[in-house]
Amino acid sequence: MELTCLHNKFKFPSLPHLSRPFFKNPNPRIFPRKINILFLASASDTVVASSIKELGSKKDDEFGDLKSWMHRNGLPRCKVVLNESTSHDEKHMPVHYVAASEDLRAGDVAFSVPNSLVVTLERVLGNETVAELLTTNKLSELACLALYLMYEKKQGKKSFWYPYIRELDRQRGRGQLAVESPLLWSEEELAYLTGSPTKAEVLERAEGIKREYNELDTVWFMAGSLFQQYPYDIPTEAFPFEIFKQAFVAVQSCVVHLQKVPLAQRFALVPLGPPLLAYRSNCKAMLSAVNGAVELVVDRACKAGEPIVVWCGPQPNSKLLINYGFVDDDNSYDRLVVEAALNTEDPQYQDKRLVVQRNGKLSVQVFHVYAGKEKEAVSDMLPYLRLGYVSDPSEMQSVLSSQGPVCPVSPCMERAVLAQLADYFNRRLAGYLTTLNEDESLLSDPNLNPRRRVATELVRLEKKILHACLQATTELIDELPDHTVSPCPAPYALLLK
């Protein structure tokens, strides 16, 4: 995705190489506002059009590709090349990806990008300003980096980072196996996620981005020494919200979270990093800060021409889709959430609250159901759910005096608890627009819309987890000794959502 569509007609001073941070100016100079009609152009149309036009320009040949530019600016010899992969959308340019230039063995250093070619908040704003911005709890590192790149984009070819920004434009926030984040989908496309909790997460994240946009001017006033180099309007005047959202999502898709570094360096934009690298959940290779550089050591053998893969962290598929636009079938970190809450109208609510706290749980408890571990998750929920069926005060006193999550378990109670769980899983499955079989049929269509495909992949995996939970619950019901016993009533059963 293109970071911004703004190409104005003014000639701007060249940005000096960022070899030192820009420190805070307590009295930032505010330039006169210049209203450029191009700023208000349609975001989506302009982004697509300008990307193709700009990327296809022969005048850009003077910069060479991203890797050539990096070598000219300090990248040492490495063991990777940039290859092309066809885009899902014929209207967009092919995407690049990092591949091995020679056969690699586990433990080989694929590349080492010097810090002079890495964008962090320390380089952009300086430690003091970063600390102030982040302690306001109003702006994230991603928002600050997105704003910086938007202003750099306005510099055009005079920006030192032009070749890198041009590559981000080409990638459009996608890796070679991905589509754009659902944060950029239409309302009709978001409907593909109906029934999935991911849809609500997308809407919540979009609201968060909007709140950060409304605080962007804070950066302008707190980091005047940086923005004095950009004779443009303050952020919310210079950039419409849709442009900022596109930039934010692009940064989100390629930012690297470095470990064991100062706060101002922990989020980094690394040329040759994502989205040029392929993310995998079962990979352990990570970009690491080592001796003034960010390097990648591969964790597996790799033939020349094969894509280089890195670990995406312990993220469920919902986060992979929102952050990077893909879903991983082989994701051991994939999970769904089941939220159970004590009924606050229960006369014995306080006693039950003491019991769950004593056993390391909360009055509103989140249970994580991991793919392949559904039986364990159901077993973990049962002691908590049984509390909702304890209504006799003497039974409650027995629970309070026990040393563990012990409830008196009768066939009547157990059948009621399991029936509540089974009903819950059935209701969640009924909330989707399609069945598992219909998902499989959709995915067999080679011409399926890419966004529909990745959404279907996600909901299919969610349904598999729910079906496995339902099966585990049904098996426990079948194991009950007396099937003639009716479930006992529970006026204060726990609430599941």
Neighbours of 143 (CB within 10 A): 25
CA distance 43 to 342: 47
Provide the pLDDT for residue 33.
36
pLDDT tens digits for range 190-236: 999 999 999 999 999 999 999 999 888 876 676 655 556 665 678 88
**Facing residues of 158 across strands?**
none
Backbone conformation region of residue 309, classed left if phi is above 0, alpha if psi is from -120 to 50, else beta: beta
Tokens describing residue 433:
């627009």
- Verify that 339 and 312 share a domain, yes or no: no
Tokens 């996600």 belong to 458
Domain count across the chain:
2
The answer to whether the CB of 443 falls within 8 A of the CB of 460 is yes
The residue-averaged pLDDT of 68-84 equals 93
Q: Is 9 exposed, middle or buried (0-12, 13-18, 19+ CB in 10 A)?
A: exposed
- 313 and 362 fall within a common domain: no
Alpha carbon distance 482, 415 (integer Å): 10
pLDDT at 309 > cutoff 50: yes
pLDDT at 44: 34
The 10s digit of each residue's pLDDT in 130-189 is: 555 665 566 788 888 898 898 888 888 989 999 999 988 877 656 555 688 999 999 999
Do 244 and 362 fall within a single domain? no
Q: What order of strands is seen across the sheet that includes strand 109-114?
A: 109-114, 293-297, 287-290
CB 92 within 8 A of CB 172: yes
Q: Cα 135 to the chain's mean position, in Å?
A: 22
pLDDT of residue 90: 63
Burial class (CB in 10 A: 0-12, 13-18, 19+), 56: exposed
For residue 480, being part of any structural domain is answered with yes
Dihedrals phi, psi of 338, to nearest 5 degrees: -115, 120
Residues 297, 384, single domain; the answer is no
Residues 341, 319, single domain; the answer is no
Q: Is 350 a domain residue?
A: yes
Instruction: Identify the CA nearest to 151 among candidates 231, 71, 213, 217.
Output: 231
Q: Are 421 and 447 within one domain?
A: yes
Average pLDDT over residues 396-411: 70
Neighbours of 241 (CB within 10 A): 14
Structure token pair of residue 477: 């019901």
d(CA 114, CA 208): 33
Does 422 lie in the same domain as 308?
no
Question: 158 Cβ partners below 8 Å, 6+ apart?
Answer: 12, 13, 14, 15
pLDDT at 12: 30
Whether 46 maps to a domain, the answer reads no
Q: d(Cα 452, Cα 411) in Å, to the nearest integer? A: 45
My answer on whether 268 and 389 are in the same domain is: no
Q: What share of the chain is helix, strand, coil (3-state, %, to 5)?
A: 45, 10, 40
Comparing C-alpha atoms, which of 56, 25, 450, 66 is closest to residue 269?
66
Tell me whether residue 33 is in a domain.
no
pLDDT(26) > 80:
no
- Which SS3 state, helix, strand or coil, does residue 250 take? helix
Pick the last residue of a domain from 299, 324, 349.
Answer: 324
CATH of the domain at 357: 3.90.1420.10
Residue 16 lies in a domain: no
- DSSP reduced 3-state for 242: helix
Q: Band of the pLDDT at 88, cuts 50, 70, 90?
A: low
- d(CA 113, CA 99) in angstroms, rounded, equals 16
8 Å CB contact between 443 and 449: no
pLDDT tens track for 249-263: 999 988 999 998 888
Please give the pLDDT value at position 95.
79
- CA distance from start to end of the chain: 35
Those residues with Cβ within 8 angstroms of residue 72's Cβ, 6 or more apart along the chain or in another chain = 64
The span from the CA of 136 to the CA of 264, in Å, is 15
Per DSSP, which regions of 281-383 are E strands? Answer: 287-290, 293-297, 309-311, 335-341, 364-370
Task: Give the model's pLDDT for residue 335.
Answer: 96
Same domain, 373 and 293: no
pTM of the model: 0.81
Residue 177 lies in a domain: yes
Within a domain: 31: no
Task: With respect to residue 400, please indicate whether it lies within any of the assigned structural domains.
Answer: yes
Q: Render 427-468 in DSSP notation, one character per residue.
A: HHHHTSSS-HHHHHHHHT-TTS-HHHHHHHHHHHHHHHHHHH
Q: Are residues 311 and 353 in the same domain?
A: no
Among 324, 353, 378, residue at a domain's last position: 324
Element (H, E) at 49: helix 43-55
What is the extent of the structural domain holding 186?
66-324
128 lies in the same domain as 93: yes
How far apart are alpha carbons 186 and 333 in whole angstroms? Answer: 28
Does residue 347 share a domain with residue 311? Answer: no
Query: Is 27 exposed, middle or buried, given 0-12, 13-18 or 19+ CB atoms closer than 10 A?
Result: exposed
Tokens of 411: 């066939």
Q: Which helix (H) or strand (E) holds 256?
A: strand 255-257
Query: 1: pLDDT confidence band, cut at 50, 70 and 90?
Result: very low
Q: Looking at 324, 348, 378, which one is the last position of a domain?
A: 324
**391 pLDDT band (50/70/90 cuts)?**
confident
For 422, half-sphere exposure in the C-beta direction (CA atoms, 13 angstrom radius) is 15
341: region left, alpha or beta (phi > 0 left; psi from -120 to 50 alpha)? beta
- Domain at 240, CATH number: 3.90.1410.10
